[in-house]
Each structure stands twice: as structure tokens, then as C-alpha cells.
Chains A and B, each alone.
Chain A
Amino acid sequence: GESVGLHLPTLSVQEGDNSIINCAYSNSASDYFIWYKQESGKGPQFIIDIRSNMDKRQGQRVTVLLNKTVKHLSLQIAATQPGDSAVYFCAESDQFYFGTGTSLTVIP
């Protein structure tokens, strides 16, 4: 069936470096995507979203890129901080499949 998923289950980065978390989706009709962050002991929290008519959207230290040709999303975190350590999920708005997420560990 249709789904979204993530490329790597774990990612370790040095504090201060940039992080890139990838996500692939299969439904070419998807028109809206959301990134969530789940810290230990908490539920997922909304980070940033993007519509399919956009290629890029920037937030505070985060940027989401959308490549509809290859059905690929990425979340870029600039100057990664220890507080960014969490599991990151991408999701399509009209479905409720989050994948297993990518666990980001920031090394001080």
C-alpha cells in the first residue's frame, strides 16, 4: 500500500554540525507533508510542514526540501544542538502512517 518511510533508523552528528534526515514516500498524489519530532518521554511534536507546490520551506534552524520527481523529502537541521536529539518522523497529511522514524543523536 501507500506509505512514507525513512531511510536511516539512526543518525549521529557532532554538535554544531548540520543534520540531514531523509524520507521517501510512495503516493505521488500526496500534496502535503509534515515533520514531527519525538523526544524521550514525550509524544511527537510538529516541527514544520510543506505543500507539494513548494520545493523548500524554512523555519528556525530547520529546512524541509521536497523533490516530487523522486518522491523524497529531507529535513535539514542547522548547527545541531543536544536538544535536537530525538526521533524524527515524516507523515502525509491525509494519512496516518509515520514510519519508524530516524533517531538523531547529537554528540557533544
Chain B
Amino acid sequence: ETGVTQTPRHLVMGMTNKKSLKCEQHLGHNAMYWYKQSAKKPLELMFVYSLEERVENNSVPSRFSPECPNSSHLFLHLHTLQPEDSALYLCASSQEGPFRGAHKNIQYFGAGTRLSVL
């Protein structure tokens, strides 16, 4: 157990569906992250939230919409996705946000949501 829980673990959706991924951290951390992991590609940072404010948006298409209602919860709302969006979506948290001190940036990852877009 890493203290970061992602649901669902697996998701299959059509291109016209709307779905949401959920992440919850029980570590008392102040920063949360969404990453996309595709086969044979580096982990891609999507969004960073620090103290519930979005501090990083890595040129992600608008069909991905993050929401951070409080420091423990992070959502990724999905709408009209494409087949190339099929991937493992990972959530992580860290004690502090980016650039706030080295050891406080160690990230704790959830197990991910395996998304398939048909």
C-alpha cells in the first residue's frame, strides 16, 4: 500500500462516453499529479496541483479535464477520447509541490487506471 488509491483499476469506454478517474491520497500531502504511461514511451506528466491550485498543465488536450476539490482528492474527467488515449493513467502525490525542496518532492504513486478507448 502506497497511501494513494486509484479507481477504477480498469476502464473501457467508447469515444463518445464521459467517464472520470478518481485518485485519493491518505498521506497528508499537498501536491497531486496525473501522468500518462503508454507502452514504450516515457511517463508523461499531464497536470500538477499544489494546495488545490493547478500549477502545471503540460499541453494536454481539452478532452482531459482535471479537478482537485481538496488536497486529498484528484479527478480526471474524460470526454470524447480517442483510441490513442488508451494507456495507464497514474496518480501521484508528494509532500510539497514542485520546486519546494528536494526530499519533499518524492512522489508516491497509485497503481493506476488501465484505460482502453474503443
Contacts and interface: CB of A to CB of B under 8 A. Distances in A.
Interface residues of B, number: 26
Interface of B: 2, 4, 33, 35, 40-43, 45, 48, 56, 90-92, 98-99, 102-103, 105-112
Contacts of B91: 43
Nearest to B88: A43
B98 A94 contact: yes
Interface string A31-48: 110101000011111100
Name the interface size band of chain A.
20 to 34
B42 A45 contact: no
A100 interface: yes
A66 to B, nearest CB: 13
B103 A49 contact: yes
Contacts, number: 59
A43 B102 contact: no
6 contacts: A32-B102, A42-B109, A42-B111, A42-B112, A46-B108, A96-B45
A89 interface: yes
Contact of B102 (A46, A93, A97, A98): A93
Contact of A46 (B107, B110, B111): B107
A98 B111 contact: no
Given A46-B108, A93-B102, A94-B105, A100 B2 contact: no
A87 B111 CA distance: 14
Contact of A43 (B2, B40, B41, B42): B2
Contacts of A100: 40-42
Q: Most A CB atoms within 10 A — which of B92, B98, B102, B110?
A: B102
